[in-house]
Amino acid sequence: MKVAVLYGGISSERPVSLSSGNAIISALMEAGHDVTPVDVGADIATTVSALRQAAPDVVFNALHGPMGEDGAIQGVLEWLKLPYTHSGIRASAVAMDKGATRTLLAAAGLPIANGRVIAVSELLHADPLPAPYVIKPIAEGSSVGVEIIRPADNRRAEIAQTWRFGDEALVESFIPGRELTTAVLGDRSLAVTDILPADTTKFYDFDAKYSVGGSRHVIPAELPDAVTQRALDLALKAHRALDCKGASRTDFRYDDETDQLIILEVNTQPGMTPTSLLPEQAAYCGISYPELCDWLVRDALTH
């Protein structure tokens, strides 16, 4: 099968996408596909030209962040009538917008943290929520720009003055406890992973996600069976509520003391780097990395 792999992109997650893309290219070649790598830059006309020249049967979208997983490149591929991996325009746009995601998850009756979208200027004057709370960019991934404000923290005004992610932000109550994640492949939740940052004084930030040794992944997570099943069920429900396709990954916080399991976000373009969670869960379920990549391109032809 002729597969074009889109990777790189112009978002802050370009290094992650390059790492994912290189691994995917090698895996698809190993699986027997005819692969054309397309490093996506600022000139979309160059990308369109490369895709037309490659004339692929299917496109593997390995882009991350704005313009890659927010519906933008999906719209280009729809225009070109090229099948592509992962979610379509609407699910991609909604999942990339954390405020819109909250609205759909709440409408589906799924558990989310107390919070709201605010004008960043509000942070100059007062705490929008009782501390501790989390400040997140509306449309970034990989924990880019995430800040935790704890009691007696005086960084609120400084964060507002140096904010570089638009005029709005999402603020949510901080949920104590463990960082869990569950990947979905098609109509199947794979497993629950407990994510333990190497530096326990920090949350699961960009470095913890992508640096070698930045975090330890426990799979399957050591949880009561009922909690594991709840996470598996919620991830599949979130996947369906947003109308995701192919693979997605739902991130949670779980508070052992209160038995509270809260959805943080749904990722429609889960990372595919060597340290990424989706490939780890697939391997745990007996699906090798080349088999995972092959499944995704074949699934794309069924949408």
Active site residues: 13, 142, 210, 249, 251, 265, 267, 271
Which DSSP letter does residue 67 get? Answer: T
Q: Are 72 and 40 in contact (CB under 8 A)?
A: no
Q: For residue 272, give the amino acid letter.
A: M
> How many other CB atoms are found less than 10 A from the CB of residue 158?
12
The owner of tokens 């605010």 is 118
Q: What is the DSSP string of 259-302?
A: TEEEEEEEESS---STT-HHHHHHHHTT--HHHHHHHHHHHHTT
Q: What is the DSSP string of 147-176?
A: EEEPTT---HHHHHHH--S-SEEEEEE---
C-alpha distances in angstroms, 169 versus 100, 139, 151, 166, 275?
Answer: 12, 9, 20, 8, 29
CB pairs under 8 A, 24+ apart, for 69-74?
69/95, 69/96, 69/141, 69/268, 69/269, 70/96, 70/97, 70/139, 71/96, 73/6, 73/40
Structure tokens, 149: 């404000």
